[in-house]
Amino acid sequence: MIRALYFLAALGLTACSAEKAPQSVSAEPSFAPLKAPLGQIVAMRRLTEAQYRNSIADIFGPDIRVAGRFEPIVRPVHELIATGAASSTISPAGLEQFDAMARAIAAQLFDADHRAQFMACAPRDVAAPDPDCAARVLVPVGRYLFRRPMTQEEVAAYVMMAGKATASSGDFHKGLELALAAMLVSPHFLYVVESAEADPESPGDLRLDNLARASRLSFLLWNTTPNETLLKAAEQGQLTDPSQLAAIAGRMVRSPRLEDGVRAFFADMLLFEKFDEMAKDQIVYPRFNPDVASALSEQMLRMIVDQLVTQKGDYRDLFTTRRTFINRALGPLYQAKVTSTQGWVPYEFAPGDDRAGLLGQAGFLALYAHSGRSSPTLRGRAIRELLLCQPVPNPPGNVNFTAVQDVTSTAMPTAKMRLNAHNSDPVCAACHKITDPLGLPLEKFDGIGAFRRQENGAPIDTAGLFEGVSFQGNIGLGKALAASKSTTECVAGRAFQYATGRVPADDGALAGGIEQDFAKDGYRIASLFLRVATMPQAYRIAAPPLAAPEIAMTTSKGVHP
């Protein structure tokens, strides 16, 4: 964080824990306004809530509270939030929330307890404007918030704003507070503004410039704002040099902070925002209490990180691994002994346990089920769409669900029997053939992901079918997914989309190419992320650029920025 390094800089020390607290406020170049004009803006991607929070924590410190509601970014159908962010606006109500958060953050920074850590100078008169001191405080902060040096116009405008607020309030720190709050609601903070330059390799075309590449790398790999090292590398033009880009990206994927990037990617790919709205019928599932609900997504993310980052494992093994994590809240759901009173502990399922793999986790099973019953169709559809990237059509509006909803039927005690009856309608059967053979193998797990031997007293048939291969249960399903090229092609394509925020026109071919490299590296997630972080196609600008940039700033008296 920035403030810790004030002291390090004062002591003449270097930041030895540079990854977690990478920012520093050196005299050069952070005090220098941007001399070169801004590049051609080619995309604007809104920060996600996690990215906003991580940015504030990294720049100002984890004790600065961020309290407020974040207007959600709409996910395009069958795409990622990362792609939705590229076309996301902010409503007036959403901006009010950002404004309230910004004011609260700024007030904390310049309160009596914190201000000394963020101020490189003392005002000549604490009750009067001091443009020089204001600039010395705001310019380095602005560089971190905007992920580039501020322009001279921006510096002048924010200093003017601080001065006017100081004059009216009689408090220099209140002036800084208002200026910082304004910076925090600037589009240049709330959006990752991607700018481009002429591509010397391909005359007439554009490529992302250095500063845009710094943001790309940082948000892709660490899900946070670029640190000092990265900004400096960008300012020195290293990120458009393929070999230096590869070296820097290589260091980043070897960092423990890759965990944050991997978490964010899979939370996006697996639609984790649905956990926020998941509800279960308390009459049917009294064991589904708030502690269980809040633990489900975290368990899945810990399993994913452990397999892909900590163990540096094969992505395909994510569907068969017996390793996971568990806490006291989840113990009864898994009927498992939890050896620690607090927090999470590693847990390994016994050989042959049908829980193995990502799909055996209660989070997946509960998320893709109805509030009062399991759903082979929802689970099968989720597998198709999220893990295989194979969109499934929505059902028509006039479907008769009577048979599948009769969950206490003695004539059709199991979901498979009820679906068979439902599928006597060929219109229904067409889609259920796609989904149900992937969902029925999970039927020994109920609507909250708890194991069950029977349904309504009847044995459960967990036979499944995928790509012509028959299997039994979740273990068989996991092996089938692990063996499928579609599984690895899907995650490879998603990674590219996640990095760039766009679905390329030649998506299939591109994903195939990425997948081949992914395969060569043993399907390691670090290799996949490194690939999409360094491949020239990810920085090539295919879409027509936006209008020429205009910074809506002025130093004219009475005109608000």
Partner 1 sequence: MLSHKIAALCAAALFVPIVPAQTATLPAPPANGEMGFVFAHFAPAIHQGDQDCPDGPVATLRDNYLQTQAPAERLRLLEKPNEAELTRRWTGYAFGPQGTNICTHPDKFDRPPQRIVQGKVAQGLDLDGGADAEGCDHDPFTSPTGQAGVDNQMWRAMGCVRTWRGVDGTGGDIVRGLTQFLISGEHTQVLLLTGVDSLSDDPDVTVIYANSEDRAVVDAKQNFMPDASYTVVANAQHRNVLKGRIVGGVLMTDPAHIRLRQSWGQGSERDIRGKRTEYDMTKARLRLTFQPDGSLKGLVGGYQPIWNIMASASIGGEGAATTAGYDCAAMYAALKKLADGDRDPATGQCRRISSAMEVLAVPAFVNDTLPATRVAQQ
Quick note: the x/- pattern for partner 1 over 240-279, rule CB under 8 A, is ----------------------------------------
**Token representation of residue 174:** 């209140």
Q: Are 320 and 481 in contact (CB under 8 A)?
A: no
294 touches partner 1 (CB under 8 A) = no
Length of the chain: 561
Minimum CB distance to partner 1 smaller for 65 or for 287: 287
What type of residue is 270? L
The dihedrals phi and psi of 201, each to the nearest 5 degrees, come to -75, -25
Beta strand segments in 401-511, E = 454-455, 458-459, 463-466, 469-472
Evaluate whether 229 touches 73 at the Cβ level (below 8 Å): no
Looking at beta carbons only, is 294 or 339 nearer to partner 1?
339
Of the candidate residues 26, 89, 202, 282, the single one contacting partner 1 (CB under 8 A) = 282
What six digits make up the tokens of 10? 């004062």
Minimum separation from the CB atom of position 450 to partner 1 (A): 10
Of the candidate spans 208-216, 280-288, 465-473, 480-488, the one that interacts with partner 1 by CB under 8 A turns out to be 280-288
Site for partner 1 (CB under 8 A): which residue of 97, 244, 289, 555?
A: 289
Query: Could you give the C-alpha distances from 90 to 97, 179, 187, 341, in angstroms and in order?
Result: 10, 21, 10, 43
Among 329, 429, 434, 551, binds partner 1 (CB under 8 A): 329
Query: 361 near 321, Cβ under 8 Å?
Result: no
In the complex, the smallest distance separating the C-beta of residue 459 from partner 1, rounded to whole angstroms, is 21
Q: Among residues 35, 337, 453, 557, which is the contact residue for partner 1, using CB under 8 A?
A: 337
Query: Could you say whether residue 286 binds partner 1 (CB under 8 A)?
Result: yes
CB of 560 closer than 8 Å to CB of 552: no
Q: Which residue type, as a one-letter code, is found at position 471?
A: F
Nearer to partner 1, 35 or 337 (CB): 337
Dmax (CA) for the chain in angstroms is 86
HSE of 329, CA atoms in CB hemisphere, 13 A: 17
- Pick between residue 202 and residue 454 the one whose CB is nearest to partner 1: 454
Assess 335 for contact with partner 1 (CB under 8 A): yes
Among 111, 291, 348, 425, binds partner 1 (CB under 8 A): 291
Task: Decide if residue 168 touches partner 1 (CB under 8 A).
Answer: no
- According to DSSP, residue 42 is labeled E
List binders of partner 1 among 338-367 (CB under 8 A): 338-341
Report the residue number, 333 or 412, with the smaller CB distance to partner 1: 333
Residue closer to partner 1 (CB basis): 18 or 329: 329
Give the N- to C-terminal CA distance of the chain in Å, as an integer. Answer: 28
Q: Tell me: does residue 319 bind partner 1 (CB under 8 A).
A: no
Structure tokens at 73: 């970014």
d(CA 178, CA 184): 10
Window of 33-41, 53-61, 230-238, 325-333 that interacts with partner 1 by CB under 8 A:
325-333
Q: Which is nearer to partner 1, 204 or 351 (CB)?
A: 351
Q: Which one of the spans 248-256, 287-295, 355-363, 464-472 is the region binding partner 1 (CB under 8 A)?
A: 287-295
Shortest distance in whole angstroms from residue 331 CB to partner 1 = 5
How do beta strands 206-208 and 191-198 pair? antiparallel
In this chain, which of 146, 189, 288, 523 binds partner 1, going by CB under 8 A?
Answer: 288
**In a 10 Å sphere around its CB, with 0-12 CB exposed, 13-18 middle and 19+ buried, how is residue 55 labelled?**
buried
Q: Does 287 bind partner 1 (CB under 8 A)?
A: yes
Binding site for partner 1 (CB under 8 A): 282, 286-289, 291, 328-329, 331-332, 335-341
